[in-house]
Amino acid sequence: MANRSAPPDDQASLLEDERGFFAEQLSNPGTLKKSQAVAKEEPAAHYHGHRERLRTKYRDHGDTALADYEILELLLFRLIPRRDTKPIAKALIDRFGTLAGVFGAPATLLQEVKGVGEAVALDLKLVATVGQRMLKSELRGKQVLSSWSSVIDYCHAAMAYESREQFRILR
């Protein structure tokens, strides 16, 4: 790819997108033959097949075989289909500390991470909402706060990542 000449200004926005690469090749048939020859000579890059290897690792060994950024990366595969999501996942974990911190962060702060737009931020918040609703549905009709540690666990799950301080009365 280093041999490609700089595109005209009207195609500058396509640089990061593989569509620009293919559009450039189609506009110059000689370039297509050169890039095919180069592709045959060069060994496959380490990231080829990365998504499939990560899915296989998860399928074969479960979530305990994966780091938090890898679990986030698996989710981001679906949200950002044609981009390397590993740096984005790592940046999110670095910024918010934990996987729970990522899902608990406000959408506006999520969007401050390079590669996370409004749609991805909202999808991450949707996953957080699904997780919270799932926990709430499991607890309905049960005595939840039966010990001091369960009260602390509840407060942490319910309020740890809220942007405003809350006051709650538990009975």
Enumerate the domain spans of the chain.
Answer: 14-41, 50-139
Q: Can you read off the two tokens belonging to residue 31? A: 């370039």
Closest Cα partner for 83 from 46, 124, 106, 50?
50
Q: What is the mean pLDDT of residues 121-150?
A: 81
Is the Cβ–Cβ distance between 113 and 88 less than 8 Å? yes
Mean per-residue pLDDT over the chain, rounded: 75
pLDDT in tens, 98-111: 999 999 999 999 99
What's this model's pTM, rounded to 2 decimal places? Answer: 0.57
23 to 9, 13, 65: CA distances (angstroms): 14, 12, 40
Q: In the CATH hierarchy, which top-level class contains the domain 50-139?
A: mainly alpha
pLDDT in tens, 53-63: 888 888 888 88
How close are the terminal C-alpha atoms of the chain, in Å?
Answer: 64
Instruction: Name the 3-class secondary structure at 168.
Output: coil
Q: What is the mean pLDDT of residues 111-140?
A: 88
pLDDT of the residue at 59: 85
State what percent of residues in the chain have pLDDT above 90.
29
pLDDT of the residue at 137: 76
What is the rounded distance in angstroms from the CA atom of residue 13 to the CA atom of residue 7? 10
